[in-house]
Amino acid sequence: MAQSAFQRAIVEPCTEVKKGVEKRARLRRQMYLAQMVSFILDAAILFLYCLSGTTPAFASAWYLAAGVGWTAITLILSEMHFNDRFQDHYLTVPQSLGSIGIQLVAIYFIPEVGLYFVSIIFVVLGFGALRMSARQTGVVWAYAAIGLTAVFTLTNQPIGMPMHSFAERHLALLCFVTALGRCAFTGLYGASLREALYKRGNELKVAHAKIEELAQIDELTGVLNRRYIMRALNDEMARAQRAGTPCAVAILDIDFFKRINDGYGHPTGDEVLRGSAITLAANMRSIDKLGRYGGEEFLVVMPLNSKDQALSAMDRLRQIVSELDWDPISDDLRVTFSAGIAQVRPNDAPEDILARADAALYKAKDAGRNRVMIS
């Protein structure tokens, strides 16, 4: 049994990591395939320009080879999980630099429709900025700006967008409509990222609340641990003293708990603590606070209860616990508790009321146990 638990402790985290890696690879695959489709679409438009006599014959084939080749390289690296070595597993900066580089070369060698490739640079930068930091975006912007400056100022290429013929005008319309489509896709992708971040934020809030809840709970009994029952005591005392309302505190102790441990074993002792705590919690008011004070002792904080009301409530709980059926554990096991109660006074500190409740608890023990006493 211990070995299987150990194996689960090793295997389960590894499985989760493997699932995460596979999910990232799948998302990258979708992104790279979309990028490949984009290059193929642009190459098809260039082919139409070639048919109309606007661009040279090599333009479409070169652009297709460059775009698909670049995307294929990044896809192969992704499938080899090379990307997982980096914080940005999409490698957005290299991806953006490579795509912009292809557009800059296209502007130079196919200047006849160069303005279309300029618009694609805007799309690439806008899309990449969704996943890049401000510094990374600045680097990619500078790269694009320097490249465009070089092409526009250091060459005499007639960069333009021909619209002389009917075919050229409609091809120009096709270029800009497809560019607008990619802008729209970028916006949708940004919206999906925001939605994913919002969902992840909510998941983190739930996880944080769960961790906070677990940090408050005593692992054995399921009630508040000592740290948090003491915090509850401080809060309720401060509230009662500020508002002038009553508040009672009880310390209860399982009678002869050492005999139970010695006679029936520690597992039975644990079951007694757990069963008693569950019974107490199930029969208390929702505003009362129950916590494990230490060992077999529990602390109960009862807001809006005077010590007489608390005496009645604790005596009822004592009766319920004393009548619990422990036959599934042992035929002759009987469990009772003793308790001491004190009421918050205007100038009390937590240690003051705890000292009075503890003194009342010892009076109950000295009087024969299985009873509740008031300080």
Supply the angle between the helices 350-366 and 226-243 in degrees, to the nearest 10: 110
Domains of the chain: 2-211 (no CATH), 226-374 (3.30.70.270)
Q: What's the CA angle centered on 241, arms 235 and 243, to 5 degrees?
A: 100
Q: What are the tens digits of pLDDT across the range 172-203?
A: 999 999 988 888 888 887 888 788 788 888 88
- Distance, in Å, from the CA atom of 207 to the CA atom of 192, rounded to the nearest integer, reads 22
**Catalytic center residues:** 296
Low-confidence ranges of the chain (pLDDT < 50): 1-12
User: What local confidence, expressed as pLDDT, does residue 6 receive?
Assistant: 41
Q: Which among 25, 31, 18, 17 has a CA at the least distance from the CA of 192?
A: 31
Are the beta carbons of 117 and 158 closer than 8 angstroms? no
User: What local confidence, expressed as pLDDT, does residue 317 receive?
Assistant: 97
Residue 10, token pair as written in the block: 């090793």
Tokens 């469990």 — which residue?
Answer: 335
User: What local confidence, expressed as pLDDT, does residue 88 receive?
Assistant: 84
User: What local confidence, expressed as pLDDT, does residue 15 receive?
Assistant: 63
Are the beta carbons of 360 and 373 closer than 8 angstroms? yes
User: What local confidence, expressed as pLDDT, does residue 16 receive?
Assistant: 61
Q: Which among 321, 355, 349, 317 has a CA at the least distance from the CA of 335?
A: 321
Give the count of alpha carbons within 13 A of 164, CB side only: 8
SS3 of residue 365 by DSSP = helix
SS3 of residue 87 by DSSP = coil
User: What local confidence, expressed as pLDDT, does residue 189 receive?
Assistant: 79
User: What local confidence, expressed as pLDDT, does residue 11 receive?
Assistant: 46
Note the Cα 23 to chain centre separation in Å: 17
Are the beta carbons of 128 and 122 closer than 8 angstroms? no
Q: Distances in Å between the alpha carbon of 60 and those of 55, 112, 124, 181, 348?
A: 9, 13, 20, 21, 87
User: What local confidence, expressed as pLDDT, does residue 9 receive?
Assistant: 44
Q: Distances in Å between the alpha carbon of 50 and those of 108, 251, 267?
A: 17, 91, 84
Q: What are the tens digits of pLDDT across the range 210-265?
A: 777 677 899 899 999 999 999 999 999 999 999 999 999 999 999 999 999 999 99
End-to-end CA distance of the chain: 50
User: What local confidence, expressed as pLDDT, does residue 14 receive?
Assistant: 54
User: What local confidence, expressed as pLDDT, does residue 147 receive?
Assistant: 95
